[in-house]
Amino acid sequence: MKTAVIVFPGSNCDRDLARAFERVSGRPSTMVWHKETALPSGLDVVALPGGFSFGDYLRCGAIAARSPIMRAVAEFAQGGGHVLGICNGFQVLLETGLLPGALLRNAGLNFVCRDVHLNVETTDSPFTNAWHNGGVARIPVAHHDGNYLVDDSLLDRLHGESRVAFTYCDALGNVTDEANPNGSVSNIAGVLSPNRRVLGMMPHPERLCDPALGGSDGAKVFESLLGALAPA
């Protein structure tokens, strides 16, 4: 699996994400500076990391979405490439138009960093197939602006096409208001593109890939990709 991590000024989970890819795939990721205009050839996955690109000034992800490299990332996605956006990377994908919706300030108004439980809503995607029969994953969130919003018709469409990848839930898998850390509509934590090859998610799977850090549920996102991209 050949991966690249895009580095924006203010990205701060870029190295963590590269480490997670390498841990699972055994191959180092290529770090690509945002001022580049082309991606390395032969890539399987492009990942947009968490952090505060351009300081989150103006609007989270808005300036990064206009970086030179993002035209190449959009072309890569439109050509059927796999794109993963985590946290700030999810915000960038929304600002780029590769995924629908918007992320508002958390309903509680505070930054929130803690483990949450996620219901794996679909295993029919290259990012979630390793969960097999679905289930509950424990993965941390760390954000100020993770309150996902789409209008009702789009929400119906996301549900109808099984494009909601993860929802916030309790430890038993119940999708409740109490389990929602940021006020997201329908507890949505991650969404897929129509071709299911672009995933944006607020939680940080790269932070819980290693039992030494208290859990490895996050590794399944990367294992899913590895499985999906393995030569048949």
Residue 206's identity, in one-letter code, is E
Name residues whose C-beta falls within 8 Å of residue 120's C-beta, 6 or more positions apart in sequence.
128, 131, 134, 135, 136, 137, 165, 166
**CA quadruple 153, 127, 125, 121: dihedral, nearest 10:** -60
| The 3-state secondary structure of 99-116, one letter per residue | CCCEEECCCCCCCEEEEE
Contact 67, 158 (CB under 8 A): no
Q: Are residues 77 and 193 in contact, defined by beta-carbon separation less than 8 angstroms?
A: yes
Q: Does position 111 bind other proteins by CB under 8 A?
A: yes
Span near other proteins by CB under 8 A; candidates 40-48, 120-128, 161-169, 205-213 = 205-213
Name which position in 102, 112, 154, 229 contacts other proteins (CB under 8 A). Answer: 112
Catalytic one among 13, 82, 121, 206? 206
Segment near other proteins (CB under 8 A), from 53-61, 65-73, 171-179, 195-203?
A: 53-61
| Chosen residue from 12, 123, 186, 216 binding other proteins by CB under 8 A | 12
> What phi and psi values does residue 14 have, to the nearest 5 degrees?
-65, -45
Choice between 12 and 162, CB closer to other proteins: 12
Residues 136-175, interacting with other proteins (CB under 8 A): 140, 142, 144
Query: Where does this chain bind other proteins (CB under 8 A)?
Result: 9-10, 12-13, 15-16, 19-20, 33, 35, 50-52, 54-57, 110-114, 140, 142, 144, 204, 206-207, 209-210, 212-214
